[in-house]
Structure 1
Amino acid sequence: MTKVSDTLWDLAIAEVEKRENTYSDDKSVEVWEKSILFMGNKNGGKTTIILRCLEREEIPKPTLALEYTFGRRVRRHNAPKDIAHFWELGGGTSLLDLIQIPITNNNINSFAVVLVLDLSKPNELWTTMEKLLQVTRHHVNKILTKVEKTSPEVATEIKQRVENNLQKDHPDYELIDPFPIPLVIIGSKYDIFHEFDSEMRKIISKTLRFVSHYYGASLVFTSKSEALLLKARVLINHLAFGYDKSKSLSVDHSKPLFIPAGLDSLSQIGPPPASDSDIGKMRAKTPLELWKKVFEETFPPKSFCDLQDTKDPAQDLQYAECEVDVTRAQKKQVCGSCSTAIQSQELEHYRRNGSKSWKEMDFDSEVF
């Protein structure tokens, strides 16, 4: 019971002790902390999806490199808030080296990947998907190799979690190659994709169904439609906050696909969309390679160089800095010969100032 003489500090201490006692009595209470990396086509809608998942009413801005935000959820009254770390890789496939920054030895056990593919750009689809997943998989496997040596039980837990997406009695259990960490593939801009020729839609849909199933991933098509964004949010919330898996399923190619991991099969997907004679002429070592060849027959890929982000960040208005921009503008106005002279003067000025500070330093005379 609160006493009249209790100070605000006493009340605060009492409240903290009360909460600690509550949590210590309930062994099941623990803070859920997960991390998700969003990557995919440039301008493919990654930021919009993240904002919708976090219920933020903001106008999406282009992602320049690698951006971070987080979200919190409360599972029940007085329980600690669960935390989800959201990383977003910008630039499509132009910044692959940045993938290794958010995925580390410390968080690999709680990490997942969301690959957002722009359905309105089928000629970029396979190249974007292949490059991003290859680099991510290589980095994750390097980490898992280290983890197996230092914490084999953690490595086993990660492997077991991925394998659980496909039961051992599933007919395709021995035919697929699951991604090493949880993966969700989102086909964005369905509203534009829906206007494509029906045969084109069928080829793209079947191909993404195969790829998702082959990697043990979930697949969902979405757009700016609130109903479709909600479906994507269901899958992401499962990864981020441990919400229950959705049991709904939509495999009709004339409608937006929604296929949670492990609920599809090769028999339902069918063979690659090509004639037997054409398939017989294609040399492929794996089923994935065969599907790639068939897909690229209809949608010739853009070269990797064409997918690079060549935009100059210094010209992007969202990163405007008045003083910096004014200085840069002044330097640009200087002609080539004058520019060299000015740069030399700046270098000499820096050297003189540096010399002064160096002379003032008390260097140790001892030689090592």
Structure 2
Amino acid sequence: MGNKNGGKTTIILRCLDRDEISKPTLALEYTFGRRAKGHNRPKDIAHFWELGGGTSLLDLIRIPITTDNIRAFAIILVLDLSKPNELWPTMDSLLRVTRNHVDKIITKLGKTNPKVATEIKQKMWNNMSKDHPDHELIDPFPIPLVMIGSKYDLFHEFDPEMRKIMCKTLRFISHYYGASLVFTSKSEALLLKARVLINHLAFGFDRSKSISVDQNKPLFIPAGLDSLNQIGPPPASDSDIGKLHAHTPVDLWKKIFNKTFPPKSTNDLKDVSDPAQDPQYAEYEVDAMRAQKNQELEQYKRNSSKSWKEMDFES
């Protein structure tokens, strides 16, 4: 899931070694991949669901995440680094809706299968050692989470101060939620880093322990390897921070980030193209019937409007 046109499909294809041209994702699309951990070993199967439309199709999130697969599920959140004004609204909406749905599933499991619910809650802390200095200060996402900052090549052209704010903010968010963070572009070397993180979750390959926190280079930070001390305070003066009324650490970082990058007021629903108007899906009989039904609907609206105006509503 993530920004519309953020590169989600390309990342999936590269992870599955498919040399295909990516196409726009219409709604919720499914594919799968097979991979073996060694010679003469059976291949594992990983199922990939891709949510299209940015934040306009949030209701579809609940379809692939179920009580049957919750223990093996992971979220890959792709954020377009070239669109900083859309970054926070996209991230916040997708993670909030996903977390609410996952929490409901865990609560339900707690009543029917408390052992599994407890296992999921304990697994949240797998990447964070008990002696980590931030153990009591973070709030891990209920299922594994990888945050991918795409289009690093465009992001690298930003003003250094803007890059600093975005890097620090994404480091804080990913660390606070117990997530891995990686920056990618069309570069095969950077896509390989994202592939390493995804293959660890999808096929059980070894977890990478390398780390890159230099804001002048692409970030690569596996879950649990960063710290609030290394990230530092929010990128704002003490006086500015003191004027902000925030209820949580995330809320504080949100206010500071949005001050630099005001959220873009967009209606994602309007941006989603109508598949019915796409020539590649044209079917004469279906389209003719659809046109007829649209005319009937418009006529119904006009007739209803007239009848409503003639009605004498009681106060």
Normalised by the size of structure 2, how large is the TM-score? Answer: 0.90
Give the letter aligned to residue 244 of structure 2.
M
4+ long deviations beyond 4 Å: 326-334
Instruction: Name structure 2 gaps, 5 residues minimum.
Output: 303-315
Please say if residues 53 and 268 of structure 2, whose CA atoms lie closer than 8 Å, have aligned partners that are also in contact.
Answer: no
2-side partners of 1:308 and 1:173: how far apart? Answer: 42
Once the two structures are superposed, residues 160-199 of structure 1 have per-residue CA deviations (whole angstroms, 9 ceiling, x without a partner) of 2220111110000000000000000000011111111111
Q: Check if 1:92 corresponds to 2:59.
A: no
Structure 1 residue aligned with 2:73, among 111, 117, 120?
A: 111
When the two chains are superposed, the root-mean-square deviation of aligned CA atoms in Å is 2.2
Please say if residues 77 and 146 of structure 2, whose CA atoms lie closer than 8 Å, have aligned partners that are also in contact.
Answer: yes
2-side partners of 1:228 and 1:73: how far apart? Answer: 21
Which residue in the other structure is 1:157 paired with? 119
Pair 1:250–1:181, CA change in 2 (3 A): same
Once the two structures are superposed, residues 24-72 of structure 1 have per-residue CA deviations (whole angstroms, 9 ceiling, x without a partner) of xxxxxxxxxxxxxxx0001110000000001111110101110000001
Please say if residues 183 and 220 of structure 2, whose CA atoms lie closer than 8 Å, have aligned partners that are also in contact.
Answer: yes
2-side partners of 1:108 and 1:207: how far apart? Answer: 28
Which residue in the other structure is 1:65 paired with? 27
Pair 1:86–1:290, CA change in 2 (3 A): same
Give the letter aligned to residue 270 of structure 1.
G
Please say if residues 145 and 180 of structure 2, whose CA atoms lie closer than 8 Å, have aligned partners that are also in contact.
Answer: yes
Pair 1:320–1:228, CA change in 2 (3 A): farther
Q: CA deviation at 1:320?
A: 3.5
Q: Check if 1:269 corresponds to 2:231.
A: yes
Q: Which secondary structure does the structure 1 equivalent of 2:47 belong to?
A: strand
Give the letter aligned to residue 109 of structure 2.
V
Please say if residues 92 and 128 of structure 1, whose CA atoms lie closer than 8 Å, have aligned partners that are also in contact.
Answer: yes
Which residue in the other structure is 2:306 paired with? none
Q: Check if 1:316 corresponds to 2:267.
A: no
Q: CA deviation at 1:325?
A: 3.5
Q: Check if 1:76 corresponds to 2:43.
A: no
Once the two structures are superposed, residues 260-287 of structure 1 have per-residue CA deviations (whole angstroms, 9 ceiling, x without a partner) of 0000000000011011110110000111
Pair 1:138–1:296, CA change in 2 (3 A): same
The residue correspondences of 1:92-241 to structure 2 (distance < 5 A) are 92-241=54-203
Once the two structures are superposed, residues 280-299 of structure 1 have per-residue CA deviations (whole angstroms, 9 ceiling, x without a partner) of 10000111000000000000
Instruction: Name structure 1 gaps, 5 residues minimum.
Output: 1-38, 341-368
Q: CA deviation at 1:318?
A: 4.4
> Greater shift after overlay, 281-290 or 147-156?
147-156
Q: Check if 1:254 corresponds to 2:220.
A: no
Normalised by the size of structure 1, how large is the TM-score? Answer: 0.78
Give the letter aligned to residue 152 of structure 1.
P
Once the two structures are superposed, residues 195-247 of structure 1 have per-residue CA deviations (whole angstroms, 9 ceiling, x without a partner) of 11111111011100000000000000001110000000000000100000111
Pair 1:152–1:199, CA change in 2 (3 A): same
Give the letter aligned to residue 81 of structure 1.
K
Give the letter aligned to residue 281 of structure 1.
K
Which residue in the other structure is 2:307 paired with? none
Give the letter aligned to residue 197 of structure 2.
L
Once the two structures are superposed, residues 298-335 of structure 1 have per-residue CA deviations (whole angstroms, 9 ceiling, x without a partner) of 0000236357544222123443335434555688899x
Give the letter aligned to residue 299 of structure 1.
F
Please say if residues 54 and 268 of structure 2, whose CA atoms lie closer than 8 Å, have aligned partners that are also in contact.
Answer: no
1-side partners of 2:295 and 2:123: how far apart? Answer: 59
2-side partners of 1:239 and 1:74: how far apart? Answer: 14
1-side partners of 2:3 and 2:277: how far apart? Answer: 21
Please say if residues 92 and 307 of structure 1, whose CA atoms lie closer than 8 Å, have aligned partners that are also in contact.
Answer: no
Aligned residues: 302
1-side partners of 2:280 and 2:226: how far apart? Answer: 42
Once the two structures are superposed, residues 78-118 of structure 1 have per-residue CA deviations (whole angstroms, 9 ceiling, x without a partner) of 43220100000000000100000000010001100000000
